[in-house]
Amino acid sequence: MKRHHRIFWFRFLIVMVIATLGGALGYRYYQTAERRKNMVDVQIIPPVPVETAAVRRESRYIVGSFRGVIKPVRETTVSAKVGGTIGKVYFFEGDRVKKDEIVAVIEDEILKIALDEANARYNKSVLFYEDAKRDLKRKEELSKDKIISEEDFLKAELNAQIAFNEMKTLEADKERKIKDLEYAVVKAPFDGIISRIDIDEGETVFQATKLFSIMDISRLKIHFYVTDIEIPAFHIGLPLTFTVDAYPDKQFVSKVGSIDPGSDEDYLNFRITSIYVNDNAMLLPGMVIRIQARLGRIEDAFFVPADVVFQSVEGAFLFVVEDNIARQRYIALDRQIEDELVVTSGLQEGDAVIVTGYTTLQNGSSVLVVNISDNDSRNGR
């Protein structure tokens, strides 16, 4: 009986040892399998290639950009001073004319007849006046000798005065007829370009009918508008540079000529005017121009490209490289000058600001710096 009892416990012990060993081996196999599975799932993320620019303290001009329009300094519409039929038009729109060149002629036959009649009336009045003067002189002598009465003398004096007044009236009428004949020949009031022709040959016109428009393009007005924030930086004589689409590679130079003392009612902007001497006649009224003006200067500041700066609830930030790791750096900004932002705090001299490859970065991302240039930023500065 005891022998059977010992055999039972011996077999039980063997089973337990085998079960323990089997469990240990099974658990080891499970750990190895899980480790291999995790090693398959884990992907090694390569560093992000980026380009950096070392920031340095610099000084820059504040350059304002504006859009303006060109207008002529002098422009006028010439109207008919006499009525009649247009006999000849010598120029067309876009033609250049000199001062006193004949632009159009109003047929003058009727005006010539009117002048001839005015001359005849005037000449007749001169004869009447000469007769009246002689009669007055004769009666003055007779009055002194008491041959005629005082009343007859005064009457002769009155007739002479009436004849004189009539002569002067007809003389003025004759001068007007001469002027009318001159007005029938319509001339350019100054050197310029015919901007508009409102008549055709054979057309009947009346006094005050618009005939043509002319503009002087030797001197041009440049108009553009600035805000109340920008206006303190402007003053008479401030240099301006501008370009036009017609000559994209040419830069024109001018300066501020006048500043309107009040803003316009619609947009509350202030109008700036510049006078440009258009000696070579390259520019024409109506051209849209792009103007630049130096409105100040920022000294000893950090400048970074505007598109490398992100905005968040906590504020503006960018990425810098520290030991091949991208670090998120919060910064304080002042203003934007063209495509750069002025940084007032948050950067130190020599910080490597990431200027390309930043779009997928997170704070702590591993980076690979390529094409490092401490002196040049991405835009060539």
pLDDT digits (tens, 9 = 90+) for 255-300: 999 999 887 777 779 999 999 999 888 999 999 999 999 988 889 9
Grade residue 307 by pLDDT with cuts at 50, 70 and 90.
very high
Residue 177 has what pLDDT?
Answer: 86
Compute and round to an integer the Cα radius of gyration of the chain.
49
Report the amino acid identity of residue 43.
Q
Say which DSSP state 374 is in.
Answer: S
Residue 266 has what pLDDT?
Answer: 73
Averaged confidence pLDDT in the chain: 86
pLDDT tens-digit profile of 222-237? Answer: 999 998 888 999 999 9
Residue 214 has what pLDDT?
Answer: 96
pLDDT tens-digit profile of 159-208? Answer: 889 989 999 999 998 888 888 888 999 999 999 999 999 999 999 999 99
**pLDDT at 83 exceeding the cut of 60:** yes
Average pLDDT estimate for 355-371: 90
CA distance 372 to 354: 10
Residue among 339, 335, 298 nearest 57 (CA): 298
Percent of residues, the chain, with pLDDT higher than 90: 55
Question: Strands (DSSP E) along 34-109, which ranges?
Answer: 48-54, 58-79, 84-89, 96-97, 102-106
Percent of residues, the chain, with pLDDT higher than 70: 86
CB 342 within 8 A of CB 298: yes
CATH number of the domain at 50-60+299-369, out of 1.10.357.10, 3.40.630.10, 2.60.40.1120, 2.40.420.20?
2.40.420.20
Architecture, CATH, for domain 66-71+216-297:
Beta Barrel (2.40)
Average pLDDT estimate for 315-344: 92
CB 153 within 8 A of CB 144: no
CA distance 61 to 4: 107
Q: Which residues of 8-18 are buried (b: 16+ CB within 10 A; e: fewer)?
A: eeeeeeeeeee
**pLDDT at 15 exceeding the cut of 80:** no
**pLDDT at 379 exceeding the cut of 60:** no
- Out of 25-29, 104-108, 235-239, pick the least confident: 25-29
**pLDDT at 213 exceeding the cut of 80:** yes
Residue among 311, 301, 316, 381 nearest 349 (CA): 301
SS3 for 271? strand
* CB-based burial label for 111 (10 Å; 0-12, 13-18, 19+): buried
Grade residue 304 by pLDDT with cuts at 50, 70 and 90.
very high
Q: Which range is most confident: 1-15, 262-276, 357-371?
A: 357-371
Report the amino acid identity of residue 10.
F
First to last CA, the chain: 103
Average pLDDT estimate for 71-98: 93
Residue among 272, 282, 200 nearest 245 (CA): 282
Report the amino acid identity of residue 98.
K
DSSP 108-172: -HHHHHHHHHHHHHHHHHHHHHHHHHHHHHHHHHHHHTTSS-HHHHHHHHHHHHHHHHHHHHHHH
